[in-house]
Structure 1
Amino acid sequence: MEPFRQFRVTAASFKSLLYASFVQLQIFLLFGSAIADNPQFYFDWTVSYTPLAPLGIFKQVIVINGQFPGPTLNATTNDILNINVRNNLNEPFLLTWNGVQQRRNSWQDGVEGTNCPIAPGKNWTYSFQVKDQIGSFFYFPSLLLQRASGGYGAIRINNRIVIPVPFSPPQHEFDVLIGDWHNADYRELRASLDRGNYLPTPDGILINGVGPFQENFAFRPGATYRLRISNVGLKTSVNFRIQDHLMLLVETEGSYTLKQYYENIDIHVGQSYSVLVTANQIPGRSYYMVATSRFIIPELAGIAVIQYPGSLTNPIGPFPPGPPPFDFTYSMDQARSIRWDLAVGAARPNPQGSFHYGLINVSQNIILENDMAMIGNHQRYTVNGISFVHPDTPLKLADYFQLNDVFKSDSIPKAPDGRYPALGTSVIDLKYRDFIHIVFQNPLPILQTWHIDGYNFFVVGMDEGNWDESRRSTYNMVDAISRSTIQVYPNSWTAIMVELDNQGMWNVRSQEVDKWYLGQELYIRVKGVGQNDPSTIPIQDETPIPANVIRCGRAGPST
């Protein structure tokens, strides 16, 4: 049973709930009664290990409240969520909320650059508002390659009742979490990366935490269902399809899309989609739901079953065909076909198209080129020649306490400059409300995925080759999709535009965990205007530092 709007107070969490109350008092003083009028919900999650064998080989899987995948976090626009996380692992732990935009509140981002970890045997309460947002997302562990052993779960942010949804209510909604899976323990995989090895080929694809033919979805003839699909894997793109059923794409990562039917959809690591599927096939039969790996050898398949009333145990016939495993052109053309629906509202009643991003002057141009390099006899991944290393103090805390020796502003070039690859702590300073053009350039023969915490951005263009100024003529400046995770195809580029409307210290990363773990990330520090000291974020324009903040490193121990 998912903990929808669940209120539980245990002895272990009582202190954390008191802390959360202090945080909400601070928010009230900052933003006034408007936020106080929004409902608050409390969740109590315990993170632990349990032996499971999704693909027939037991390993220690990270579960939340004994569940794998973890509980669905089910919220509505503007809800305030207080999630007390107790860490019963033997390692530090953090959760991050993939795609959820905590408004001016990077204190709750749950990545190593913004938060001190939750120590073994300790707990910490995340407290944030899902303000002005709808859509399908997921959470996952952000430290130490723990995502390779689970710990993830779905997030739904529903429309307020006063905001119409641009399609008829479905009979039911299903969360479909798909992703690659390794039978090896995550600590073994981490140690292998530390020795300079690559991640091995996955052992299979899971659907909702189980192997082939272990997950069933009940369909009633004539009914329409919403599937919220997320790729929660480590590094493998997947192609998703359902035997004899078309999928009507309606939403991706908080944006309603132009409604188009697809026989199959490529879903890259970290991405989420919502599709509507109508049960219009023969009653008394069952059908394959298939998620196959893309761009790797051998091809792997996750298989679930859709069952109509009275259906046979197993579907009949071959698996529904997908695109050729290495057809990048097919995948890129499909990605370009996904468009923003300008005529409908999302979290607010005004149409999505009322924000005319194509008419805004660009403040800065940034080119981020990923690469791989040997640094100190170790394989690393870089952005503009720098492979990220974390200091002993989270950047967010160092910034707040003005610890000037932890990182330097603008410590990464805003375009590749041919420098020799090196380790570094990459931070780019950007101004609140500026409108930024970013090009992700991928010179490697493998696909990349990129994510920006705290933001959605407009995917205005993608193509093969190297980006140059002439490519702007190909941009979609009218109805480009707005999302938070985007793929960059091999030897190709992807261009995005983003309004910096969310102050804080925000993580920009590869969504593939091996590249992220080995340095492919940076942070953008979005500063308010009119600040006398340009080296700091104006605290008065952000959510105050949480009363229960965990302090570590040079920021001092928690009291």
Structure 2
Amino acid sequence: MGSKSRSRSTSLLPLLCIVVALVVSVSLVQAEDDYKFYTWTVTYGILSPLGTPQQVILINGQFPGPRLDLVTNNNVILNLVNKLDEPFLLTWNGIKQRKNSWQDGVLGTNCPIPPNSNYTYKFQTKDQIGTYTYFPSTKMHKAAGGFGGLNVYRRSVIPIPYPNPDGDFTLLIGDWYKTSHKVLSQSLDSGKSIGFPDGLLINGQVRSTFTGDQGKTYMFRISNVGLSTSINFRIQGHMLKLVEVEGSHTLQNVYDSLDVHVGQSVSVLVTLNQPPKDYYIVASTRFTQTVLSTISVLHYTNSHSSASGPLPPPPANDYDLSMKQARTYRWNLTANAARPNPQGSFHYGMITPNRLIKLANSAPLINGKLRYAVNSVSYVNPDTPLKLADYFNIPGIIDNSIQITPSNAPAHIATSVLRTSLHDFIEVVFQNNEKTMQSWHLDGYDFWVVGYGFGQWTDASKSTYNLVDALTRHTAQVYPNSWTSILVSLDNQGMWNLRSAIWERQYLGQQLYLRVWNAQRTAANEYDIPSNALLCGKALGHHA
């Protein structure tokens, strides 16, 4: 009996070795798909960003909120505790949320987190590298803070098309109002605009210092987290090498200044190749009658001189000049993306869109109050999130009244949803017939920005499209009395917010939702409702 036992044990050794080897192999493959755990508590605080004490929103006592530094494919488990006196949500600006619109953090997909309650976000930075942000999507909370940087770095096995920088700076630049966010909400609710901002901030301050060594190269991650104004960024005596835009590696053109529109992010490399002293960093509003500026400092570690001399001037106040700069943003087709394949391996320009959607923004009066509309429909959020209504088949929530082309119909209020199908390849034309800058964002996606033009878009405008190396990004500007055209591969099932990134316009109705649908409910297309999903409105009483 003993010899048989020894023989059986000996024969199992090779099998055990194979099993161990497989476990080790799987562990190595999965090693970089780490889980990152966070607990964030949202509170009010009193700070003076522009010199006047005012109520701001803090996350873990910080303004702006904590920076999220992640790696491609990290899994994020983030418990958000709401200690405000109002319901609250965060949205992850530019994170694609693959098959997971449940975590999008907007009122069309999530019930807001009630005061003195919490919700745990669970998402993955799947196949992404780049500079992003997060911010509050509820009410006018963004006007009080609650925003922060979200940087996704490459996995070690994925090369980047430039040498590793010697340092990394995150710059959250945006306009700021001294008025309370609650007063701003009341103004909009009464049908009045919130008006022009009071100043600009960089990382929540009117003056910051960024320190580096002479001769070294640093990455500046620049995001416009403001509410309303486009911003021009420049550094005295230094050139900006553009290397990444919202997750896409770019051709590495060099600029003396860059326009960054509301909701957008860019990454530039700056080499400290000037004599050792301090230099001005300037951000100023673009295309505004009154120009707001904020000045920070680039400090060389071996500097003994303060910044001096004239500030670097802004570019001419010219829409054509800005549009020409935007056209120079090109995809680096030979660079790897977040996977080893080149960015240009998906030949978007060789695919014929199966649907054309034209969206025109407007600023109508409805019932005597200022509203903003898309194709004559001004969006309002229902008490029941659209995603929950869709999942539980709750009738009477989703309104399909919006048309896919502009009309001269009287503007009206509705909860508008555009129904699309999974794997559609669509063209969306944003037509701006107003005299103001526009900025459009699509949650859950990036898209190819294939064309800009002045005047009215027509079929003939397609002849000007860049169908070879157009940039992919998540937020596109539209110049006054102009159009911008994008191509979108609808490969991410869910309910996705398409909105103005200019927050007053979003608040008063310049938004809608894309319902990207497939009749087959499977985890291969979309994850199931999370077990911790908050329920509200007509979804109360249903089971997640």
Length-normalised TM-score, structure 2: 0.93
Structure 1, unmatched stretches of 5+, are 1-32, 532-536
How far is 1:436 from its partner? 0.3
Which amino acid counterpart does residue 450 of structure 2 have in structure 1? V
Partners of 2:413 and 2:124 in 1: how far apart? 35
How far is 1:196 from its partner? 1.6
Secondary structure of 2:394 counterpart = coil
Match for residue 288 of structure 2 among 293, 296, 317:
296
Question: Percent identical across equivalent pairs?
Answer: 51
Match for residue 334 of structure 2 among 343, 350, 353:
343
Is structure 2 residue 310 aligned with structure 1 residue 315?
Answer: no
Secondary structure of 2:339 counterpart = coil
Partners of 2:466 and 2:372 in 1: how far apart? 30
> Any runs of at least 4 consecutive aligned residues in structure 1 with deviations exceeding 4 A, and if so which?
33-37, 537-540
Q: Identify the residue that residue 548 of structure 1 maps to in structure 2.
A: 532
Structure 2, unmatched stretches of 5+, are 1-27
Q: Identify the residue that residue 323 of structure 2 maps to in structure 1.
A: 332
Q: Identify the residue that residue 252 of structure 2 maps to in structure 1.
A: 259
Any residues of structure 2 matched to 1:232-271 within 5 Å, and which?
232-271=225-264
Secondary structure of 1:258 counterpart = coil
Match for residue 221 of structure 1 among 206, 214, 228:
214
Secondary structure of 1:525 counterpart = strand
Deviations 1:27-79 (A, max 9, x none): xxxxxx99898221100101111100011001111011111111111111111
How far is 1:197 from its partner? 1.4
Partners of 1:496 and 1:421 in 2: how far apart? 25
Q: Identify the residue that residue 492 of structure 1 maps to in structure 2.
A: 482
Partners of 1:35 and 1:220 in 2: how far apart? 37
Q: Identify the residue that residue 372 of structure 2 maps to in structure 1.
A: 381
Q: Identify the residue that residue 158 of structure 1 maps to in structure 2.
A: 153
Partners of 1:362 and 1:203 in 2: how far apart? 43
Aligned-pair Cα RMSD in Å = 1.5
Cα distance, 1:106–1:313 mapped onto 2, change above 3 Å: farther
Q: Identify the residue that residue 458 of structure 2 maps to in structure 1.
A: 468
How far is 1:346 from its partner? 1.2
Any residues of structure 2 matched to 1:155-554 within 5 Å, and which?
155-211=150-206, 214-283=207-276, 285-312=277-304, 314-324=306-316, 326-408=317-399, 410-528=400-518, 531=520, 541-554=525-538
Partners of 1:94 and 1:538 in 2: how far apart? 27
1:290–1:304 contact (8 Å) kept in structure 2: yes
Cα distance, 1:557–1:313 mapped onto 2, change above 3 Å: farther
Partners of 1:145 and 1:439 in 2: how far apart? 28
Q: Identify the residue that residue 38 of structure 1 maps to in structure 2.
A: 33
Q: Identify the residue that residue 66 of structure 2 maps to in structure 1.
A: 71
More divergent stretch after superposition (411-420 vs 450-459)? 411-420
Partners of 1:35 and 1:162 in 2: how far apart? 13
Partners of 2:32 and 2:241 in 1: how far apart? 36
Length-normalised TM-score, structure 1: 0.90
Secondary structure of 2:453 counterpart = strand
Which amino acid counterpart does residue 65 of structure 2 have in structure 1? G
Cα distance, 1:197–1:511 mapped onto 2, change above 3 Å: same
Partners of 1:538 and 1:113 in 2: how far apart? 21
How far is 1:314 from its partner? 3.5
Cα distance, 1:322–1:479 mapped onto 2, change above 3 Å: same
How far is 1:198 from its partner? 1.3
Cα distance, 1:427–1:80 mapped onto 2, change above 3 Å: same
Deviations 1:519-548 (A, max 9, x none): 0000001012x54xxxxx667631111110
Cα distance, 1:34–1:308 mapped onto 2, change above 3 Å: closer
Partners of 1:90 and 1:38 in 2: how far apart? 36
2:449–2:472 contact (8 Å) kept in structure 1: yes
Indicate the structure (1 or 2) with the bigger Cα radius of gyration: 2
Partners of 1:182 and 1:557 in 2: how far apart? 41
May I ask how many residue pairs the two structures share in their alignment?
A: 516
